[in-house]
Amino acid sequence: MSRILLVRHGQASWGAADYDQLSDLGASQARTLGAALAAQGITPDVLVSGGMKRHSQTAAGVCDGAGWDLPVTVDNGWDEFDHLQVLERHPAPEGVDITSDPRAFQRWFEGATSRWTGGEHDDYDESFADFSTRVSAALDRAIAALEPKATAVVFTSGGPIAWAAAARLDGGAHLWLRLNQVTINASVTSFVVGARGATMLAYNEHTHLSPDHQTYR
């Protein structure tokens, strides 16, 4: 059987003017993951990246840590949803400094994503239904490109990974919401691909990261 490993990008620059950049910790997470994958004897045949800078920077860090020298194919189907627009459409809680209160921010984020996934509002450039269709198509392309017994590593974001997992578990938006909350930076979600398609083996594997290197944003 073939394998597909979905890698969430390393920690991005949360709160900075340009979020779409790995932080120093995010770059370290990527290199650590690369070294761990190489130590496991993983030698990919295909590398795929979403179109965001944090995806390509994570790919570069993992390849550096693993010693891989392969071209990376860009597939924008693996891009993250527009979290800034999703947050803008759902008012932040009043009287709370969400920049310094992680729990308050998390409540806001969960409310905003629940509004988006609910399907009752059409004021988004990309609906949740369109997002899930886009990610499913990207996964189908990755599967179709695999030769028998080959391994593909895909560098993407938490949202697409959560949907790929939820869809293969016959779940919907509710399961996506639960999975998206817990996906760790530079974690690995693995699938095997056989005659019956892709089956998820592991979600959010992150034992290669020490506790002080485990982040969610």
Q: What is the pLDDT of residue 97?
A: 64
- Mean pLDDT, contiguous 10-residue spans, the chain (217 residues): 96 80 97 98 97 98 98 98 94 69 82 95 97 98 94 98 96 96 97 90 97 92
Determine which helix (DSSP H) or strand (DSSP E) holds 194, and give its type and residue range.
Answer: strand 188-194
209 HSE (CA, 13 A, CB side)? 24
Q: What is the pLDDT of residue 14?
A: 72
Q: State how far the Cα of 109 lies from the Cα of 120, in Å rounded to an integer.
A: 17
Q: What is the pLDDT of residues 93-112, one digit of tens each?
A: 776 666 666 788 888 899 99
Residue 25 CB coordination number (10 Å):
15
In a domain, 42, yes or no: yes
What pTM did the predictor assign? 0.94
In a domain, 177, yes or no: yes
Q: What is the pLDDT of residue 194?
A: 87
Query: SS3 of 197, please?
Result: strand
Rounded to 5 degrees, what angle do the CA atoms 73, 78, 81 make?
145
Query: The domain that contains 171 carries what CATH number?
Result: 3.40.50.1240
Q: What is the pLDDT of residues 26-57, one digit of tens each?
A: 999 999 999 999 999 999 999 999 999 999 99
Q: State how far the Cα of 160 lies from the Cα of 145, in Å rounded to an integer.
A: 18
Tally the domains of the chain. Answer: 1
Q: What is the pLDDT of residue 105?
A: 82
Q: What is the pLDDT of residue 65?
A: 98
Query: If we measure between CA atoms, which residue out of 109, 76, 73 comes closest to residue 91?
Result: 109
Expressed as residue numbers, the domain containing 58 is: 2-81+126-213
In a domain, 27, yes or no: yes
In a domain, 98, yes or no: no
